Chain A
Amino acid sequence: MAQSEQEILAGLADIVNEETGLDTDSVQLDKAFTEDLDIDSLSMMTIVVNAEDKFGVKIPDDEVKNLVTVGDAVKFIGANQS
């Protein structure tokens, strides 16, 4: 079942926190993973895989480069949840 944007954001913030130690409050829709949150490509891979498990979506490797901001990821997950 599809989750609300707020639920996805909160879930994603937990994943980011677990992998990087960043405060969940810093994970906001307008924040860019690389520019604002300083998340490197290795951490991003783990975040993507953990998000697939948590939200029941498939995020192809080709798609990851398009997920620039947290909002991009939330939107992609929301649109692709079954």
Chain B
Amino acid sequence: MTTDRRVVVTGLGATTPLGGTVPATWEALLAGKSGARTLTEEWVAKYELPVHFAARLAVPADEVLAKVEIRRMDPSAQYAVIAAREAWADAGAPELDPERLGVAIGTGIGGVWTLLDQWDTLREKGVRRVYPLAVPMLMPNSPSGNVSLALGARAGAHCTVSACASGAESMGTGYEMIRTGRADMVVAGGTEGAIHPICFAGFAQMQALSTRNDSPETASRPYDTTRDGFVMGEGAGVIVLEAEEHARARGAKIYAEFAGIGMSSDAHHITAPEPEGAGASRAMIEAVGSAGLTPGDIVHINAHATSTPVGDIAESNAIRRAFGSAADAMAVSATKSMTGHLLGAAGALEGVFTILAVHNRLAPATINITDFDPAIELDVIRGEHRQLPAGDIAALNNSFGFGGHNVAFTVKSV
């Protein structure tokens, strides 16, 4: 079996707070729209939650999937299946040996809705009313398993769990499956359906969420001096990775090359980023170096930038530590300013954006920056989205997760 093969991206799929598909999401992103809205759910007032808004899906899953699919899958799996079907269709839904098609779909939180609904059912109605599919719905690998079922993928179906780096890590897992010869195509990404009162309450108690209740659309404001936390989002982002020779042989449309991945762990604190960015910068350096790139090749970064006071500065420091003055020439986008924070799907959705930025040579602007934080030493795109240069270009996607997980990957133009 061939190893060390080049890997390209041949399909994209997403369901997000900005749109029910990749084209709808990308259009809203370039238009600088926010997906955050005031929540109308009764539980916000019932539990006196201090945060009243989130970025819910633009197109609810029950408008896309069959009733029985909604019933038998947790929201986390529903969103993954929606995005995977779009990505697979976008790749041309080619015929291939099912044993050469893999899946890698991560999630940060997993089937929290199913878990707690079924716990309520057990307590209130007894064991016979617990749904027999409770366990296969709540398990974190349920999205991965359901996508493998939906597409008939038999090369292996994996689930990476690394909090808000899960989606990016899955893409790395898919890349490795192809590079090492385990599969010719892998459907990879991340999903999250965790806008549940317990997640809200937990993040709020950590002081991690923005409390800008009177203005949800401007609450996610990475790099602004008045940023006060992230905005909960939901959705999924999925890409189709493919061995380059396989894609060329079938004449597939190629968006970009998935060029390299870097991963590290901080071992510093369970939630706080290591302030000097030592671990994060190692992941970035590895993502660039393993792709055969140099920092001078990177023209764009889709930053993790969640809009927390500490996290945005730590990442800025890590980028500087990794690339020094070469970072001056890297145009930075913080797309969570529009999508909110999709947790385990964040790195995957932002991976889709990074791929589109390289493919279309357009990097999205960051919205809601009215007073740019002078502590951020980055060229952050504000106002209008920015044209990226012609010729060979590359971009970097950063994702970090509670637990000290750092995942960075690079994408090259083809």
A interface residue numbers (CB < 8 A to B): 18-21, 42-43, 45-46, 49, 52
Contacts and interface: CB of A to CB of B under 8 A. Distances in A.
Given A42-B133, A46-B131, A46-B133, 5 more contacts: A19-B68, A21-B67, A21-B69, A46-B132, A49-B129
Contacts of B68: 18-21
A46 B132 CA distance: 7
Interface string B62-86: 0000111101000000000000000
A65 to B, nearest CB: 16
A33 to B, nearest CB: 14
16 contacts: A18-B67, A18-B68, A18-B71, A19-B68, A19-B71, A20-B68, A21-B67, A21-B68, A21-B69, A42-B133, A43-B132, A45-B132, A46-B132, A46-B133, A49-B128, A52-B128
A20 B71 CA distance: 9
Contacts of B66: 21
Interface of B: 66-69, 71, 128-129, 131-133
A45 B132 CA distance: 7
Contacts of A21: 66-69
| 6 interchain residue pairs of minimum CB distance | A21-B68, A42-B132, A45-B132, A49-B128, A46-B132, A21-B66
User: Main secondary structure on chain A at its contact with chain B?
Assistant: helix
Nearest to B69: A21
Contacts, number: 20
B300 to A, nearest CB: 44
Nearest to B129: A49
Nearest to B136: A42
A46 B134 CA distance: 11
A46 B71 CA distance: 12
A18 B69 CA distance: 10
A52 B69 CA distance: 23
A79 to B, nearest CB: 21
Contacts of A43: 132
A49 B132 CA distance: 10
A19 B67 CA distance: 9
Contacts of A45: 132
Nearest to B130: A49
B267 to A, nearest CB: 42
A46 B67 CA distance: 16
B67 to A, nearest CB: 7
A72 B57 CA distance: 44
A81 B133 CA distance: 28
A20 B129 CA distance: 17
B77 to A, nearest CB: 16
B136 to A, nearest CB: 8
B396 to A, nearest CB: 43
Nearest to A21: B68
B368 to A, nearest CB: 43
B149 to A, nearest CB: 13
Contacts of A18: 67-68, 71
Contacts of B71: 18-19
A38 B131 CA distance: 19
A25 B11 CA distance: 39
A49 B134 CA distance: 15
A43 B11 CA distance: 34
A5 to B, nearest CB: 26
Contacts of B67: 18, 21
Contacts of B129: 49
A46 B136 CA distance: 14
Contacts of A46: 131-133
A45 B68 CA distance: 16
Contacts of B69: 21
A23 to B, nearest CB: 11
B354 to A, nearest CB: 37
Contacts of A52: 128
A17 to B, nearest CB: 8
A49 B14 CA distance: 36
Nearest to A53: B129
Contacts of B133: 42, 46
A74 to B, nearest CB: 21
B211 to A, nearest CB: 40
A45 B135 CA distance: 14
Contacts of A20: 68
Contacts of A19: 68, 71
Nearest to B133: A42
B69 to A, nearest CB: 8
A46 B68 CA distance: 13
